[in-house]
Amino acid sequence: AWKSERTHKPEVDFQQPMLKITLVADHEILQIAETELCGQCPSLNHVYAGTRYMDLTRVDVNKGSALEILSSHLNINPQEIAAIGDQPIDLSMLQFAGLPVAMGNAPDELKKVSRWVAPSNDDDGVAWTLEKISRGGA
């Protein structure tokens, strides 16, 4: 029977359905893992969550699908949602949101799908975005 709580004992926890696995390694090792996983596990979605992190989920599980479920549950139109991202893992979330915002330090793929590019994390980009929205800049 499936348990809802993790025991932190691999011999028990790995017998339960996994929602997400994060691999932490040097980028070169993650690239090897990516090649192997893509070829052998087509039902897995993989996305880099930084240079040393790769997240693995079911192919239809990502930040965008989570935001879609939440917005439906709360009866919020996607056009009323702002999302801020700075890593490739945020792409699906930005594509769903009506106001996608990329941080200045985000990769170009995020900037291309965003309406605004905020200052970087180090330059208070989230605060900049919230102030712009509160002044009616959306």
- What is the predicted pLDDT for the residue at 6? 67
Q: Mention every residue, 6+ apart, whose C-beta is less than 8 A from residue 91.
A: 47, 64, 85, 109, 110, 113
Choice among 1-5, 56-60, 108-112, 134-138 with the minimum mean pLDDT: 1-5
pLDDT over 60 (residue 1): no
**Tokens describing residue 25:** 């390694």
The DSSP bridge pattern shows strands 53-58 and 82-85 to be unpaired
pTM beyond 0.85, yes or no: no
pLDDT tens digits along 75-84: 999 999 999 9
**pLDDT > 70: percent of the chain:** 88
H helices of the chain, in order, are 10-13, 27-40, 63-73, 91-96, 108-113, 125-134
| Helix, strand, coil abundance in the chain, percent, nearest 5 | 45, 20, 40
Q: What is the CA radius of gyration of the chain?
A: 17
Q: Mention every residue, 6+ apart, whose C-beta is less than 8 A from residue 44.
A: 37, 56, 57, 58, 59
Could you tell me the pLDDT band of residue 40, with boundaries at 50, 70 and 90? confident
**Tokens describing residue 121:** 């994390």
- What is the predicted pLDDT for the residue at 125? 95
- What is the predicted pLDDT for the residue at 134? 92
